[in-house]
Amino acid sequence: MKFGTLRAGIYALLIHLALLGLLVFSLDWKVPPPVPASTQSQPIQAVAMDEAQVAAELKRLRAAEAKQKKQESTRLNKIEAKARAAEKRRKAEEKKLTQLKKKLAREKKQAAAARKQATQRKAEEKKRRAREKLTAETKRKAEVARKKEILRKAEEKKQLAAREHKRKLAAEKKKQAAVAARKAAEKKKQMAAAARKAAEQKAAERALQEQLASEQRSLDERRRALLNRARSEYNERIRAKFTRHWIRPAGVPVGLKNILRVEQIPGGEVVSVRIIKGSGNLAFDRSAEAAVRKASPLPLPRDPSLFDRVLNITFDPEQ
């Protein structure tokens, strides 16, 4: 409050100083111009002037004085008008200042009232929150107690259900054990019968398999014999054709033989011949190669399954 009063006093002092300065600077502080020396009274020289001159001079002086008074009056009127305007502005400023002070006082009073109301509202809000907190705490405790009671009842119900379930489970287990015992006895009986039947069936199957195996062995032996006979015949035909086309080189001794690797195509045409085990006589080996090439195409087997593209043949012309 002291600070607001001091501030209002400073504002009023500044306004009065401003009005005073305006009033001072609006006044005309110029010294009236001195009356020309010609207008000052001169000693009447009765001897040099006549009455007409005196009358004219008096008239001129009165006119000059009247003019100066009029000018002075006009200037004073202007000064008074400015002073009145300044006074009017001062009063207006004072009025504004008074209104401002009143406004500030009202605002201060309103602010104090607002602060008081805010304080009251805060106090009421605090009380309301305290009441709500107390109510909420009471409700929370009641809710906790209610939930505990619900949980207790649920736990009792759960334990009762568990005991009942355990009893039923034991009864069911006993019943299932009895059923399982009967089924086990029946199964054991069935398994014994099935074992006897399986043993009989297995014996019959074993006898049948032995019979089939014996027949298969006989069949395989006959097939192998036929194949060996056919392969021997096929190889003999090839060796016979080699021998027919072989020309014994001069000086080659009797009893030589070698092994040839012969490659043929499906028609029997020979595409390559090479010695894989020589006889020790170059002329004999070369004559054997030549005989194979002359024998192309080679005879085909009667059984197409015996045909081989690559043949390893022992060439012995005395065999």
pLDDT in tens, 226-267: 888 988 898 889 889 999 999 999 989 999 999 999 999 999
Which pLDDT value is given to residue 256? 93
Region of 299 please: left (phi>0), alpha (psi -120 to 50) or beta: beta
| SS3 category, 248 | coil
Say if 207 falls within a structural domain: no
Say if 155 falls within a structural domain: no
Crossing angle of helices 51-244 and 2-26, rounded to 10°: 130
Which pLDDT value is given to residue 31? 47
Say if 119 falls within a structural domain: no
Closest CA to 263 of 230, 233, 307: 307
Summarised one tens digit per residue, pLDDT across range 266-296 is 999 999 999 999 999 999 999 999 999 999 9
- What is the number of other CB atoms lying within 10 angstroms of the CB of residue 307? 14
Number of domains composing the chain: 1
Which pLDDT value is given to residue 27? 53
Model confidence at 313: pLDDT above 70: yes
Q: Mean pLDDT over all residues of the chain?
A: 85
> Which residues form the domain of 266?
245-315
Which pLDDT value is given to residue 97? 87
Which pLDDT value is given to residue 302? 87
* Phi, psi at 51, each rounded to 5°: -70, -35
Whether the CB-CB separation of 237 and 306 falls below 8 Å is answered with no
Summarised one tens digit per residue, pLDDT across range 144-165 is 999 999 999 999 899 989 889 9
Which pLDDT value is given to residue 24? 57
Say if 10 falls within a structural domain: no
* Phi, psi at 204, each rounded to 5°: -65, -40
Compute the distance between CA of residue 240 and CA of residue 236 in angstroms, rounded to an integer. 6
Model confidence at 50: pLDDT above 80: no
Compute the distance between CA of residue 182 and CA of residue 97 in angstroms, rounded to an integer. 119
Count CA within 13 A, CB hemisphere, residue 122: 6
Q: 264 or 33: whose pLDDT is higher?
A: 264
CATH number at residue 260: 3.30.1150.10
Number of helices (H) and strands (E), helices first, in the chain? 3, 3
Compute the distance between CA of residue 258 and CA of residue 313 in angstroms, rounded to an integer. 8
Say if 11 falls within a structural domain: no
Token pair listed for 189: 């009986």
C-alpha torsion sign, points 108, 110, 112, 114? negative
Which pLDDT value is given to residue 47? 47
Token pair listed for 75: 């200037």
Alpha carbon distance, N-terminus to C-terminus of the chain: 151
Which pLDDT value is given to residue 261? 95
Say if 303 falls within a structural domain: yes
Contacts 24+ apart (CB under 8 A), 68-77: 68/32, 72/32, 75/28
Model confidence at 203: pLDDT above 60: yes
pLDDT tier at 297 (50, 70, 90 boundaries)? very high
Say if 283 falls within a structural domain: yes
Model confidence at 202: pLDDT above 70: yes
Say if 276 falls within a structural domain: yes
Which pLDDT value is given to residue 2? 52
Which pLDDT value is given to residue 22? 63
- What is the number of other CB atoms lying within 10 angstroms of the CB of residue 6? 10
Token pair listed for 6: 């001091």
pLDDT tier at 23 (50, 70, 90 boundaries)? low
Crossing angle of helices 51-244 and 282-294, rounded to 10°: 100
C-alpha torsion sign, points 195, 200, 205, 210? positive
- What is the number of other CB atoms lying within 10 angstroms of the CB of residue 212? 10
Summarised one tens digit per residue, pLDDT across range 75-94 is 989 988 998 998 999 999 88
Whether the CB-CB separation of 297 and 270 falls below 8 Å is answered with yes
